[in-house]
Amino acid sequence: MRIDRLIITVILLNCLGVYNVFAQKDNVWNPDNGNGTFTNPIFWGDWPDPDIIRVDDKFYFVSTSMHYVPGCPIAVSEDLINWEMAGYAVERYEEDPRYDMQGGTLYLNGSWAATIRHKDGKFYVGFCTPYGWGREKGNFSVCIADDVKGPWERVIFSEYMYDPGLFFDDNGKVYVVHGQGTLYLTELNEDVRSVKGSPVKIWEGGFKNAYELGGAYGMEGAHMYKINGKYYITCPAGGTEGWQICLRSDNIYGPYEHKLIMHDDSSYPKNGLHQGGMVQLKNGDWWFMIMQDRGPIGRVPCLVPVTWVDGWPMLGEGGKDLITYPKPSVGKRSKFKSPATSDEFNAPKLGLQWQWNHNPDNSKWTLKERKGYMRLKASQAGTLKEARNTLTQRVQGPTSEGTVEIDISGLKNGNIAGFGIFEFPYAYVAVEQMDNKRRIVMCNDGKIVESINDFNNTRLWIRARVMDKDFRALFYYSLDGINYKRIGDTLKMGLGLPWTANRFALFNFSKTAEGVDGHADFNWFHFNDK
C-alpha cells in the first residue's frame, strides 16, 4: 500500500468515526485506536529483538528474554495490532547450575535475538546464548514444536551463531545468517538439528555513509527472506540510536548490495527504530515489526508499512515513521487484545505474563496450597539479587502501576517478603521479620531508606508507580487496601543489566537459615496504565 494512500485513509477513517465495537480496552496500552487506525508502539513495554511470521490467518511474534524463565515469549495476533500471549519456547535452562543460582548467577544469559519460522507444520525458534556479556563465545539453540503452546524440544548446538536468523529456502535447504559486523551463512541439515556446512562469510565491515550516520557500526540481528527470486537480509546497525539496513543479492552467498531503509528517531529522540522482521499479508502487502529502545522501560516493538521502491523494502514513509497508520488489511476486524497483566492467582497455572528471575525452585512456590493465592516459600539469600523465585512481569510506559496484596502471617525470622521494581538498581517495599518482630521497609539500591517498626498486621498492600519521564518509580503502602501512603524515596530506574528493562517483582527470601520455611501469600496483582 502506498504511503499517500495510507495518509488519506487515516484521515477518512477518523472523519467517518469507524469504530471497533467488539470490545473495550482494558487498563493497559493498546495501539488499536478503534477507528481503523493504530498508533505505535504495538507494545509499550520490553519485547526486544522482535521477529514475526504468518501462518495461514495468524501472525506469530517472538522476543528475547535473557535470563528470565520461561524464555522466548511468543505472542499471536489476527491483525498484527491486537496481540495476546501464546506460550514460550524454553521452559527452563538446564545446561548450567548457575541458572539455578547455584555457584553464581547468569544474568544477561539465556535467550538473545530470537528468530521464528514455520515449515511443514512445525514451528522453529532459534536464539543464541553468549557466555558472559560478550559476543565472542556461546552456543546456538533451535526449539521445535508442532504448536506454539508446546511442548517444545530444544536442540543445543556446539557451534556459536551470534544473533541468528533462521531461513528456509524454497529449494529445501536450511540456513542461519548470523554475526556482528561480519555476517556469515551456515547451512543446517534438513531436520534443523545439526550443522551441515562450515560458516561462509557473506558480508564484512560497515557500509557507505556509516560515519555520517553516527559511526561505522557493523550489522547484526539479521533476518533473511527470498522475494521474487532475490535474497534479502535486513539488519540493524548503530545500536540504540541506530537505523535499519537491507542487503540484496541474486545469490544466497552474495555478493550483496546494500541500502538504508529506515533512519528515524522522531518518535522517541534520540533512539532510532532498528532491528526486527517483516511479514507478508495474504493480499500481498508487507509490514515490518521494528523495535525502539526506550531506556529502562524497555525496547518496544513498532509496526511500519513496507513500500517497495526499485526492489527495496522502504519502511514507513521514505525511511521515516508516521507513528499512526491505517491497520493492516487482513480482511477481518479483531477484538481489542493485549498481553495479560493483572492476575487473581485463581487458575491452576501461572498466567503467561509471568517470568521468573532465573530458573525457579518449583518446590518453593505453589498455587494449590491455598486456593486463590500464590504462595512463595523463602530461599536463603543475602539480597534480592541472589534470591530465587522472584516472580516478574514487564513494567510499561508511558506510565504503569502495579499493586499487590500480601498475607505475611506465614513469615519466619529472616524473611523479607514484598513487591517492587527489579533491575540494577532495584527498589522495593517489604515486610522484614527479625527476632520475632516485623517492620515495613523501603529498600532502594540495596539500602533501607525508610522503615516502620512494630508492624503487627497480617496483611499489607504495596504499590509501585512507573513513569518514562525521567524514568522514575514511586512506592506506596496501605494497611487497609484503600488508603495508600508514600514511603521511601524515588527509584531512578537504570539499566545496570544492559538491554534488560525494569520489571514488577514479587518476592520472598530469607537472610537466615531459620527462615527458609517461611512463606508469603500473594492474593492478587493488579495492573493499570493510569
Domains of the chain: 3-326 (2.115.10.20), 355-528 (2.60.120.200)
| pLDDT of the residue at 530 | 78
195: DSSP letter: B
pLDDT of residue 25: 61
DSSP structural state of residue 165: E
Helix, strand, coil % in the chain, rounded to nearest 5: 10, 45, 45
In order along its 530 residues, the chain shows pLDDT tens digits of 444 544 444 444 443 333 333 345 668 999 999 999 999 999 999 999 999 999 999 999 999 999 999 999 999 999 999 999 999 999 999 999 999 999 999 999 999 999 999 999 999 999 999 886 556 689 999 999 999 999 999 999 999 999 999 999 999 999 999 999 899 999 999 999 999 989 999 998 765 544 444 444 568 999 999 999 999 999 999 889 999 999 999 999 999 999 999 999 999 999 999 999 999 999 999 999 999 999 999 999 999 999 999 999 999 998 899 999 999 999 988 899 999 999 999 999 999 999 999 999 999 999 999 999 999 999 999 999 999 999 999 999 999 999 999 999 999 999 999 999 999 999 999 999 999 999 999 999 999 999 999 999 999 999 999 999 999 999 999 999 999 999 999 999 999 999 999 999 999 999 999 999 899 999 999 999 97
pLDDT at 18: 37
Backbone angles phi, psi at 238, to 5 degrees: 90, 0
The DSSP symbol for 435 reads T
For residue 339, the model assigns a pLDDT of: 97
Q: What local confidence, expressed as pLDDT, does residue 514 receive?
A: 92
Phi, psi of 426 (to 5 degrees): -125, 165
- C-alpha 329/C-alpha 307 separation (Å) is 14
C-alpha span between 59 and 48 (Å, rounded): 17
- The grid coordinates listed for 378 are 523463602
Return the amino acid letter for 523: N
| E-assigned strand segments in 5-152 | 37-39, 51-55, 58-62, 68-69, 71-77, 83-90, 112-119, 122-130, 138-145
- Determine which one of 187, 220, 293, 401 is catalytic: 220
pLDDT at 359: 98
SS3 (DSSP) at 4: helix
- Residue 219 pLDDT: 87
pLDDT of residue 23: 43
The verdict on whether 310 is a catalytic residue reads no
Catalytic residue among 49, 163, 317, 521: 49
Give every CB contact of residue 415 below 8 A, 6+ residues apart in sequence: 378, 431, 432, 433, 508, 509, 510, 515, 518, 520
**Does residue 423 carry a catalytic annotation?**
no
Residue 42: closest CA among 82, 79, 6, 88 = 82
DSSP conformation class of 66: B
